[in-house]
Structure 1
Amino acid sequence: MFLIAGIRLPAPMLEFFQQIQTFFPNREWEPEPFLFLPLVIMGETSDPDIMENLDAGLLSIQTSTPATLVHSGLDVVQQGERIILTAKILSAVCDHLSVKIRRQTQQAGLKVKRICHPLSVPLGTISTVPPEDVHNWLRIHHSLRAPEDEVYEFTLFSSWKNRETADMELLADYAFTSGCIEPTHLL
Structure 2
Amino acid sequence: MKIKDKHFKVLLDYEQISKRVMELAAAINHDYEGKNPLFIAIMNGAFMFAADLMKHVHIPSEITFIKVNSYQATKSTGNVKELIGLQENIFKRNLIIIEDIVDTGNTISHLLEDFNTLGADSIEIVALLHKPEAVKKKVAIKYQGFSIPNKFVVGYGLDYDGYGRNTRDIFELLE
Q: State the TM-score, normalized to the length of structure 1.
A: 0.27
TM (norm. structure 2) is 0.28
Higher relative contact order (CA 8 A, sep 6+): 1
Between Structure 1 and Structure 2, the one with more helix by share is: 1
